[in-house]
Structure 1
């Protein structure tokens, strides 16, 4: 396939914004690689901080993505002013795909008390989910940024992996370098480390673990709403609340892009090959410790 000359870089993602944020006591940073449970975790945190509510238009209004630019003319100062204007009577929560030091890490006792929730997922599963997600970006969004669709999208997973992911080092940086950066911080008091597969296995238990970490104690009535509103069926039924419809100047995604089936252990059925899986694992073993990589792939008790 002839791909028009273009860097292929998603210029709407500008991680350097995060270095300029005026952090507050109580801020929550949700740091998750692409397609690894980010939207779900954003919603869980939002529901816990509000006591369970269906009365929101777009999760991205409630939990801003702090490295995202909504249109080419939007400045960092405009984004920072919007974050500063968020209400002070409730805690802020933010999404990022970055790991330290790109997203600032404030250890307990070093400035404002910021808590970090880090979620990881088997990279095979995340990558096969990433391919259809990119393909479901709207034409209007690519046009807004002057990017040909062919610079990032491919019709099948192997071509997407080789021509987009591996060619740009996305697999290394988004998953293994991410893990490498967070792993030494995993036992800090203000870091909660979770695995997507464990969250899927025990939805209620995982939500309660996040609540305990955040110091939130919902009533029984609030718990029932929180568990309902963070369930996959409810989020799928209200998909329009999770598709970043207010985040950009034009539509970013086609309908159905954000909330997929989210199944664990189904990477091969979605296009993963043995050769690509072997290449990925070899890369992970080169970058991270064996215990860290084992946990990344399997979840369970963390070393």
Structure 2
């Protein structure tokens, strides 16, 4: 790949449609620093888990932090209707220069600016994917657990995003708004960059199968080497069990002007292979994959999105 091609972001990305508290354009205002880490993950695909793993590695396995969103800011998120994109960028710029920064985004390039090696900034990208059937069935209860206060703050009726059963949610929310692009468009945008030296692709199912191996891969990629005393704490704190016991740290309690989520919204079961039990029918499954194949026409990419394993 030529240097020009490596520096140019892919033209196709996931659709920008979304709730009013998410503005992907904020990311173009960020003043990036050497050592920054961007955690780029579609919705309900292991974002909070990966945020915590990266924070544990960069900060030496802390247990006393208050809120993961204070440690790993979401750089496309508005805390209240009066907040501006520049307010977010200024808050990010004010973060101490004495420690490496990590950020969350649900965007892919070009909304999440990709800085290729040789661009003048040493930024690393940890990109995580999940079987889209599992992610979408998990998305419905997550949206339902947004607080009434949060919907009221933004003047959005709960009925805009919530439905009483999964088939209606898929038809009236996911399909009606083209939300398949949040998963397959995300894949299409990142896929050409999967072998870049500053990009690490991970799959949720592989992380579940081998947590320690996945954490060590992330550590090596970030060039972090915890000592023998710190490693056991990193692995303990990276587990779903530890996060569930301390779930108040992972519910974005400090991120909004009012409480965003009800208790238990972020840390669910994290199971793989259970989409059918949560409402994914054979008909919806076929439709999702057909639509996804049109959004991302690379069959190897789509197969990997569903199955994980070694990258082609």
User: Structure 2, unaligned stretches of length 5 or more?
Assistant: 1-16
SS in 2 for 1:200: helix
> In the alignment, is residue 244 of structure 1 matched against residue 248 of structure 2?
no
Alignment partner of 2:236 out of 207, 222, 228 = 228
Matches within 5 A, 1:3-14: 9-14=18-23
Aligned CA-pair RMSD:
0.9
Equivalent position of 2:12 in the other structure = none
CA distance in 2, matches of 1:285, 1:9: 22
List, as ranges, runs of 4+ consecutive aligned residues in structure 1 with deviation greater than 6 Å: none
SS in 1 for 2:261: coil
Displacement, 1:111?
Answer: 2.1
Q: What is the CA deviation profile of residues 242-293 of structure 1, one whole-angstrom value per residue up to 9, with x for unaligned ones?
A: 0000000000000000000010000000110100000011122223211101
Give TM-score scaled by structure 2 length.
Answer: 0.93
Equivalent position of 1:57 in the other structure = 66
CA distance in 2, matches of 1:269, 1:62: 35
Matches within 5 A, 1:288-303: 288=296, 289-303=298-312
Equivalent position of 1:85 in the other structure = 94
CA distance in 1, matches of 2:18, 2:242: 34
Q: Is the CA contact (8 Å cut-off) linking 1:27 and 1:92 kept in structure 2?
A: yes
Matched residue count: 295
CA distance in 2, matches of 1:206, 1:12: 32
Equivalent position of 2:9 in the other structure = none
Displacement, 1:87?
Answer: 1.1
Alignment partner of 1:206 out of 194, 204, 214 = 214
Equivalent position of 1:48 in the other structure = 57
Equivalent position of 2:281 in the other structure = 273
Q: What is the CA deviation profile of residues 9-52 of structure 1, one whole-angstrom value per residue up to 9, with x for unaligned ones?
A: 41000010001100000000000000000000000000000110
CA distance in 2, matches of 1:25, 1:297: 33
CA distance in 1, matches of 2:221, 2:88: 28
> In the alignment, is residue 28 of structure 1 matched against residue 37 of structure 2?
yes
Alignment partner of 1:157 out of 166, 169, 177 = 166
CA distance in 2, matches of 1:302, 1:159: 34
Give TM-score scaled by structure 1 length.
Answer: 0.96
CA distance in 2, matches of 1:139, 1:284: 32
